């Protein structure tokens, strides 16, 4: 399974964490000593050890949605680093008050602090000199977001290889999810690499042609 993804300007490392084998992505702009994480799901010590090993300082955490299997390490990361967290509008309650059925799987879970920046609309943000397109993709949850960096799209639980995220949980909506995927993800460059919140990476073209939920 591929774990390192390289661009001329940055590198991405996939770190699989927690009982739900969530994909956390550690991103570093080349020549920078800062880094940021997308979806630090759990196992904060594993993430902190990795960041220390590389000699990085963690500055930002981007959350694709408020489910605890994607946010489980954030409380401990706040204790260690001075971070800014980005969250999609609509997921505040999920983020602050996670469902017990999920946190029961995470014995060390602590709710993250209520300090974060809310993203309500598609926008560009600059993180450590890197341009990131934040794409609002409701459906898996009300506030689900995807993040595009270079030729990579981080899709959280919205789009997986050959599957899509559950839409039967609170805040989920199948029609909205399919609309988000078809209008905002499948329209990206066909060779864009999809880095989902669980499982293997894929490409937009592969999902357009093979994903049974999208045909
Ligand atoms: Zn989820």
The order of strands in the sheet holding 145-149 is 123-127, 130-136, 145-149, 152-156, 193-196, 202-203
The order of strands in the sheet holding 84-88 is 4-6, 10-17, 22-29, 34-38, 57-62, 84-88, 117-119
pLDDT, one tens digit per residue, over 138-196 is: 999 999 999 999 999 999 999 999 999 999 999 999 999 999 999 999 999 999 999 99
Residues surrounding ion ligand 1 at CB below 5 Å: 67, 157
How remote is the CA of residue 26 from the centroid of ligand 1, in Å? Answer: 19
For the chain, the average pLDDT equals 96
For residue 209, what pLDDT band results from cuts at 50, 70 and 90? very high
How remote is the CA of residue 31 from the centroid of ligand 1, in Å? Answer: 33
Classify 92 as helix, strand or coil. helix
pLDDT, one tens digit per residue, over 11-60 is: 999 999 999 999 999 999 999 999 999 999 999 999 999 999 999 999 99
pLDDT, one tens digit per residue, over 72-109 is: 999 999 999 999 999 999 999 999 999 888 889 988 88
Classify 8 as helix, strand or coil. coil
Domains and CATH numbers, the chain: 4-210 (3.60.15.10)
How remote is the CA of residue 33 from the centroid of ligand 1, in Å? Answer: 30
How remote is the CA of residue 89 from the centroid of ligand 1, in Å? Answer: 15
How remote is the CA of residue 157 from the centroid of ligand 1, in Å? Answer: 5
**Cα–Cα distance for residue pair 76/16, rounded to 1 Å:** 17
How remote is the CA of residue 82 from the centroid of ligand 1, in Å? Answer: 26
Q: Residue 110 in contact with residue 86, Cβ under 8 Å?
A: no
* Phi, then psi, of 103 in degrees rounded to 5: -65, -20
pTM for the structure as a whole: 0.97
Q: Residue 9 in contact with residue 30, Cβ under 8 Å?
A: yes
**Cα–Cα distance for residue pair 64/158, rounded to 1 Å:** 9
How remote is the CA of residue 166 from the centroid of ligand 1, in Å? Answer: 7
């Amino acid at each position: 399974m591929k774990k390192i993804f390289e661009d001329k300007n940055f590198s991405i490392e996939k770190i699989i964490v927690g009982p739900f084998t969530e994909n956390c992505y550690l991103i570093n702009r080349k020549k920078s000593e800062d880094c940021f994480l997308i979806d630090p799901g759990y196992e904060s010590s594993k993430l902190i050890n990795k960041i220390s090993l590389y000699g990085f300082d963690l500055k930002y955490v981007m959350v694709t949605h408020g489910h605890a299997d994607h946010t489980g390490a954030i409380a401990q990361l706040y204790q260690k680093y001075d971070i800014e967290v980005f969250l999609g509008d609509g997921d505040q309650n999920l983020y602050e008050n996670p469902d017990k059925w999920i946190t029961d799987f995470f014995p060390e879970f602590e709710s993250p602090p209520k300090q974060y920046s809310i993203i309500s609309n598609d926008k560009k943000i600059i993180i450590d000199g890197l341009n990131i397109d934040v794409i609002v993709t409701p459906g898996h949850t009300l506030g689900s977001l995807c993040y595009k960096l270079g030729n990579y799209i981080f899709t959280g639980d919205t789009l997986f290889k050959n599957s899509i995220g559950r839409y039967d949980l609170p805040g989920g909506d199948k029609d909205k999810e399919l609309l988000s995927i078809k209008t905002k993800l499948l329209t990206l460059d066909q060779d864009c690499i999809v880095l989902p919140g669980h499982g293997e990476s894929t490409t937009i073209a592969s999902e357009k042609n093979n994903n049974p939920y999208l045909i």
